[in-house]
Copies of this chain bind each other. A is one copy, B any other.
Amino acid sequence: MTERSLLNQLIDALRCLPGVGPKSAQRIAFHLLERNREGGARLAQIMADAMLRIQRCRRCRTLSEHELCGICANPRRDAGLLCVVEQPSEIVAIEQATDFRGLYFVLGGRLSPLDGIGPDELGLDVLESRLHDEPVSELILAISPTVEGSATAHYIADSAARHGVRVTRIAHGVPLGGELEYVDGGTLALAFSGRRAL
């Protein structure tokens, strides 16, 4: 075998999928070639299309092939509620689990000056102009309560305060059905400091 075979090229290329090592890549390649060529061909076509055409929504920065994503383009969503998340995948989770009908804003990360991630990288200028231009009455922060996440939340809260927008933060604590003894210490401490009167 002088040149690399197409099969080996496919096995190598499959390793760009997260969590796929050499053995899994081989298994996937043989599975597609022997049992599901149609699915593989369809996936290849959609993947090529998606890598090329999906960009960020101009308004909320989530992933979309349109200039405005489906949620931002929907006039029935409540523009008074704006939920700030770190990643586009979190929008999917919130949409599936809650009855939130407001709009979103995707940071794409947390403030981390040492890694070169400042307010501009998170699109906080875009968020600020939304607070200025849109009738936002409540800004809901769904940002993880890490050190960097808290710094990001405070930065955004300051900016919202300047625009007179009320800022809330989703509750962090022990999850439903979570056994206290298996919950990590940080979460348990948060649950205690965030206790509420019954």
Name A's B-contacting residues (CB within 8 A): 1, 5-7, 9-10, 13-14, 16-18, 26-34, 36-37, 39-54, 63-65, 69-71, 74, 87-89, 92, 108
Q: Which of B18, B33, B65, B87 contacts A51 (CB 8 A)?
A: B33
Copies of this chain per assembly: 2
- Chain B residues with Cβ under 8 A from A48's Cβ? 41, 44-45, 48
Question: Which label, helix, strand, loop or mixed, suits the secondary structure of the A interface?
Answer: helix
Whether the pair B43, A14 counts as a contact (CB closer than 8 A) is yes
Closest 5 pairs (CB-CB, A-B): A16-B39, A1-B70, A44-B48, A44-B47, A41-B51
- Chain B residues with Cβ under 8 A from A87's Cβ? 30, 34
